Amino acid sequence: MKLFVLKEPKWEHRVSVTPDAAKFLSKFGSILVEKSAGERAGFSDDDYKSVGCVIVKQRDIGDADVVFGIGPIRCLDSVNGWTIIICLQEPYENRENLRLAKEKNLAMFSLELIPRSTRAQYMDVLSSQSSLAGYKAAIESAHFLRKGLPLMMTTAGTVPAAKVLVIGAGVAGLQAIATAKRLGAIVSAFDVRTSAKEQVESIGAKFVEVESVESEDGIYATEMTASYQTAQEAKLRSVIPAQDIIITTAQIPGKKAPIIIKKDMVATMKRGSVLIDLASKTGGNCELTKHGETVSEHGVLIISFDNILNLIAYDASRLFAKNVSAFFELLSKEMEKTKNLSQIEEEIIKSTLLTFDGEIVNEKFKGVCL
């Protein structure tokens, strides 16, 4: 079996398989690594060669049985039919790859669809990557704020602790809270999910309660009603003016991110404060966010990164590669048992497989218009 590791496009610095992961995966077959695939994440071609990988050109992808990538693969045209593709496919947005995968009989796995269960945690790329994004958002916010974060008493006076508000306490939000706490800030957070309160409080932050009878108790949030949004806005209007840093991470899978901070709310923020919007790829939680740009309004910096994980590409690649290796190990075990991929009943594999044998086989995507 030939396993191919893609070099990502120039806007993506991560690599899906690191040399350590390649060493692990080599028990399943030979590893072909596209030239300079790991360069921007800090892994050289020699690092890959030292664990037995062969450095190849992109056109050699036609020889592959399995292709590993980070994001939606741009060269599906050059991949042979029946190849197994494993990456983040952005299946809700990227219908073109879905169409191509179907047309070319590819076995396309979409890592976004790995269940958020305890058993699947060690393969869950969304969690590992969101965690690092949350950490980095807190670090970057401290970098751009022209104030210190911890309380500092000096002979020249006292530097008060900065106030940080995190909106959305999922994986990224919780890591942003924990990081800002470690940096010494006074941190509060809120989320529509009731279960988030306990998690926020367990890491030492204050949970901002929204006075509303409605809240969520599922794993993922859904769109909230107009009355909840009004209550949420009223609460936020009362806490926002005190904040030095706001980090927003609120998302709804497959939908546009909710607008939580309106233009006029930014105007009430302190001059010099910083807002980092981690939900910008799906539209952003702040009305003024421009994806991949820094906007300055009313003396507030509204920052959105094109890909914040590029700033921590080494560790992001290591964790991604660990997740993907665990996923492939499980897939191989299941393939040994059942020769036909579409008959695998194992829950993680089944819920992640998008297309097989010219069909969309995933329940969530059957019947989508291509």
> Is residue 202 near ligand NAD by the rule CB under 6 A?
no
Q: Which residue is nearest to ligand NAD (CB)?
A: 170
Closer residue to ligand NAD (CB): 144 or 207: 207
- The span from the CA of 28 to the CA of 21, in Å, is 12
- The span from the CA of 261 to the CA of 239, in Å, is 12
Q: Residue 174 Cβ, how far from ligand NAD at the closest point, in Å?
A: 8
- The span from the CA of 24 to the CA of 197, in Å, is 39
Task: Tell me phi and psi for residue 164, to 5 degrees.
Answer: -125, 130
Chain position carrying tokens 């073109």: 96
Q: Is 124 an active-site residue?
A: yes
> Is residue 220 near ligand NAD by the rule CB under 6 A?
yes
Q: Which of 19, 69, 170, 284 binds ligand NAD (CB under 6 A)?
A: 170
Q: Is 251 an active-site residue?
A: no
Kindly name the residue from 124, 191, 244, 277 that is annotated as catalytic.
Answer: 124
- Residue 122's Cβ-count burial label (10 Å; 0-12, 13-18, 19+) is middle
- Sign of the torsion formed by the C-alpha atoms of 239, 240, 243 and 249: positive
Q: Is 63 an active-site residue?
A: no
> Is residue 130 near ligand NAD by the rule CB under 6 A?
yes
- The span from the CA of 94 to the CA of 265, in Å, is 33
Closer residue to ligand NAD (CB): 77 or 198: 198
- How many residues are there in the chain? 370
- CA nearest 234: which of 262, 271, 195, 206? 262
List binders of ligand NAD among 222-281 (CB under 6 A).
224, 249-253, 258, 260
How many residues bind ligand NAD, per CB under 6 A? 30
How many Å is the Cα radius of gyration of the chain? Answer: 22
Contact yes or no for 172/249 (Cβ under 8 A): yes
Q: Which of 219, 234, 267, 370 binds ligand NAD (CB under 6 A)?
A: 219
> Is residue 191 near ligand NAD by the rule CB under 6 A?
yes
Closer residue to ligand NAD (CB): 12 or 124: 124
> Is residue 126 near ligand NAD by the rule CB under 6 A?
yes
Query: Which residues are 4's β-sheet partners?
Result: 32, 67
Q: Residue 192 Cβ, how far from ligand NAD at the closest point, in Å?
A: 4
Kindly name the residue from 44, 50, 59, 116 that is annotated as catalytic.
Answer: 116
Residues known to be catalytic: 116, 121, 124, 127, 220
Residues in touch with ligand NAD (CB under 6 A): 116-118, 121, 124, 126-127, 130, 167-173, 191-193, 196, 219-221, 224, 249-253, 258, 260
